[in-house]
Amino acid sequence: MDCLFCSIIKGEIPSTKVYEDEQVYAFKDINPMAPVHVLIIPKTHLSSINDVTEENSAVIAHIYAVAAKLAKDFGISESGYRVVSNCGADAGQTVFHLHFHLLGGKKLNVEMG
Ligand code: 5GP
Ligand code: ZN
């Protein structure tokens, strides 16, 4: 399958890794929208939240635990941050490998829709 983020996980496309374990990979967004802008992705390919089921959803909880750890590492756990996943066209999803944006380090735009 031709997937940009699967290629990043395999190291075929370079990325700035900030965390990795057996379940997830986290790296800096190439076009940061905030001083801290990290993408956290499951190593198993899921296209979006639409692919999350009761059977495979444990990795989502793990991703949130990794987000909390990275927020601490980047010094934004107290100042605040946002974790967001865009699903589909109306949300502006551009890469169809499930990913969670971790954003912080500035006062974020409050617009939610
Ligand atoms: P989406 O719009 O799908 O929620 O987010 C996709 C994100 O992936 C965007 O913030 C974009 O900047 C980032 N991105 C796209 N291609 C690459 C890449 O090749 N490397 C990295 N590090 N980030 C990428
Ligand atoms: Zn993929």
Judge if the beta carbon of residue 90 lies within 6 A of ligand 1. Answer: no
pLDDT of amino acid 74: 98
Give yes or no for residue 112 having a pLDDT over 80.
no
Query: Where are the alpha helices (H) located in 1-113, listed in sequence order?
Result: 4-10, 58-73
Residues facing residue 81 across a β-bridge: 104
Alpha carbons 20 and 80: distance in angstroms, whole number:
23
Give yes or no for residue 113 having a pLDDT over 90.
no
Instruction: DSSP letter for 109, please.
Output: -
Judge if the beta carbon of residue 53 lies within 6 A of ligand 1. Answer: no
pLDDT of amino acid 110: 86
pLDDT of amino acid 70: 98
Q: Render pLDDT for 62-102 as a digit per residue (tens, 0 to 9).
A: 999 999 999 999 999 999 999 999 999 999 999 999 999 99
